Amino acid sequence: MSTVQMQREGTQAGRVGPSYTWVWLTLGVLLAISTVRTLTGAHEIDSSGSLQAAIIATCPILMAAIGGLWSERSGVVNIGLEGQMILGTWGAGYFTYYYGPWQGILGAALLGAVGGLIHAIATVTFGVDHIVSGVAINIIGLGAAKFLAEAYFADLSSDRGTGGVKQLVGLERPPSFTVPGVSEWTTDIASRHWFVVSDLAAVVAALTTRMSWVTLLVFALVALTAWLLWRTSFGLRLRSCGENPQAAESLGVNVYRYKYIAVLVSGAFAGIGGGYLALVASSGFVTGQTNGRGFIGLAAMIFGNWRPGGILAGASMFGYTDSLPLRSTATIHALLLVIAIGLFAFAVFKLLRGDRGTAVVVAVFGGLFLLWFLVTKEVPRDFTSMTPYIATLLVLAFASQRLRMPAADGQIYRKGSAG
């Protein structure tokens, strides 16, 4: 029994926290990027500025994705994330103007939770199809934010912010911090462009320079989510509603209550994502600010296989590509080489695993990216904004067998159907 148990505990840990696979993967990515950077001279690829921009772009997507995780783990598909996020941007604007930035974040969560509440009433209480309700919430969220902006922001003008029919800008930002000493030291090392060392320094510099407290909050919420959902009985109950609500009910779990909680939290998190977008990533509320990030969040959640660790990876990747249009075209061009190297590495991995078919296909794609890198000088910016979507489609198409969504996700559950 004990040997079995030890093996199991290994896999248990792998299901939640980081394991050696992640360490090796991170190291590999670091090496690849560093090599490409040195070869091409595209130092912007992981300069601390780039990484900071990437982190700022990652957070809204990450919050939406984690919000999606809450909802879907309880068995409710939430494609209303976009609408809830939009509501969050408005809430952030309103509450920051009148009460201050931290209240703004709270307001964003509140407005997002309202969107979540509507979704919960429709899907849980009335058993409406989850997709249908989500579509309606996206319509309502978009309309409500526009309408409310025009009603409440149009005439605002003071030192706390400047309003307009479609915006409320110049708001006070949530505080940020710089770790003295560490920040300067690492920024200096990063600017020397040493192999690997500078790359690591850039990461540290990005995390210690003008770092918003809200960013820390976001990562704390991700960690909190992982702990709550996988390490507490509350989480077990919530997840059981997404896996087999009949079983959960037969054991006395109040399925409706957990679904309500999950969908409310989901909306609140998406709302915080919207709030981050308005207050940290930009200087205020603008209509249309989310620009589909709720959907990217959904994509990141699927990409991350409904797991916090995977979602973090997915959101980071999508956030990085989201921040790319700000970079020089040469940087984006250099990334082609990174992708090619990554694909070749994956092909070798597959080959070692004995899956020759996949290895060949992946290697061919790697070759194509290499060719693309070699024969062109730059990559159209539009292509980078497609990256999250195409990546998700590819993951779904080629790794869908490995994806494991909650078994009862999206199914309509009615109380009393146990037994």
Partner 1 sequence: MTATAPAPTTDEAVLVRGITKRFPGVIANQDVNITIRSGTVHALIGENGAGKSTLMKILYGVQKPDEGTLTVNGKQVSFSSPMDAIAAGIGMVFQHFMLADNLTVLENVVLGAEKLHGIGDAARKEIQTISEAYGFELDPDELVEDLGVGERQRVEILKVLYRGAKIIILDEPTAVLVPQEVEALFGNLRELKRSGHTILFISHKLDEVLDIADDITVMRRGRTVGEARPEGTTKHQLAEMMVGTELPSPQTEESTVTEQVLLEVRGLSLVNERGRALLSDIDLRIHRGEVLGIAGVEGNGQAELVETIIGMRRATSGTIELDGSEISAWDTRRRREAGVGYIPEDRHRHGLLLDAPLWENRMLGHQTLEPSVKGMWINKSGAHQDTERIVQEYDVRTPGVDTFARALSGGNQQKFIVGREMSSAPLLLIASHPTRGVDVGAQAAIWEHIKDARRKGLAVLLISADLDELIGLSDRIEVILRGRLVAEFDPQRVTPQDLGTAMTGGGKEEAS
Partner 2 sequence: MSIVSRVFAALLAPLVAVVAALVITSLVVMLVGGSPVEFWGIIFSRPADRVFVNIVNQSSMIFLSALAAAIGFRMNLFNIGVEGQYTVASYAAAVFAGAALLPGKLNILVSLLIAMAVGALWAGIAGVLKVTRGVSEVISTIMLNAIGTTLAGYLLLNYGQQYGSGRRTTPLERSSEFTGWFPFTNADGAVWTLVILAVLAGVGFNVLLNRTRFGFDLRATGMSETAAVASGVDVKKMVVIAMMLSGAVAGLIWMPALFNGAHYYGPTFQAGLGFTGIAVALLGRNRPLGIMFGALLFAFLNEQSNRLTLETDISPNVVQITQGVIVLAVVIAYEVVRRWRATAEQKAVTRKLEEARPTGGEAVSA
Residues forming the site for partner 2 (CB under 8 A)? 77, 79, 118, 122, 126-129, 131-133, 135-140, 142-144, 146-148, 150-152, 165, 292, 295, 298-299, 302, 380, 382-383, 385-386, 388-390, 392-393, 396-398, 400-401
Q: Is 414 in the site for partner 1 (CB under 8 A)?
A: no
3-state secondary structure of 212: strand
Which of 174, 366, 388, 406 lies at the binding interface for partner 1 (CB under 8 A)?
406
Alpha carbon distances (Å) from 319 to 55, 61, 371: 7, 7, 26
Of 238, 271, 248, the C-alpha closest to 117 is 271
Residue 354 interaction partner, one of partner 2, partner 1, none, beta carbon < 5-8 Å per kind: none
What whole-number distance in Å separates Cα of residue 85 and Cα of residue 71? 14
Which of 200, 247, 330, 363 lies at the binding interface for partner 1 (CB under 8 A)?
247
Alpha carbon distances (Å) from 255 to 262, 404, 414: 11, 21, 9
Residue 10 interaction partner, one of partner 2, partner 1, none, beta carbon < 5-8 Å per kind: none
Q: Is 385 in the site for partner 1 (CB under 8 A)?
A: no
Q: Which stretch binds partner 1 (CB under 8 A): 5-13, 292-300, 307-315, 389-397?
A: 5-13
Alpha carbon distances (Å) from 81 to 10, 408, 417: 34, 19, 29
Beta bridge partners of 161: 158
Which residue's CB is nearer to partner 1, number 201 or number 261?
A: 261
Alpha carbon distances (Å) from 265 to 64, 109, 125, 262, 345: 11, 9, 17, 5, 39
Q: Is 5 in the site for partner 1 (CB under 8 A)?
A: yes
Q: Is 249 in the site for partner 1 (CB under 8 A)?
A: yes
Q: What is the DSSP string of 10-52?
A: HHHHHHHS--HHHHHHHHHHHHHHHHHHHHH--GGGG-HHHHH
Which of 34, 240, 323, 392 lies at the binding interface for partner 1 (CB under 8 A)?
240
- The residues in 86-115 that bind partner 1, with binding defined as CB under 8 A, are none
Q: How far is the CB of 242 from partner 2 (least distance, A)?
A: 16
Which residue's CB is nearer to partner 2, number 144 or number 280?
A: 144
Which residue's CB is nearer to partner 2, number 211 or number 300?
A: 300
Q: How far is the CB of 11 from partner 1 (least distance, A)?
A: 8
Alpha carbon distances (Å) from 415 to 87, 241, 247, 265: 30, 12, 12, 21
State the CB neighbour count (10 A cutoff) for residue 117: 16
Q: How far is the CB of 180 from partner 2 (least distance, A)?
A: 42
Contact 54, 323 (CB under 8 A): yes
- Residues forming contacts to partner 1 in the complex (CB under 8 A) are 1, 4-5, 8-9, 11-12, 232-233, 236-237, 239-240, 243-244, 246-253, 404, 406-407, 416, 418-419
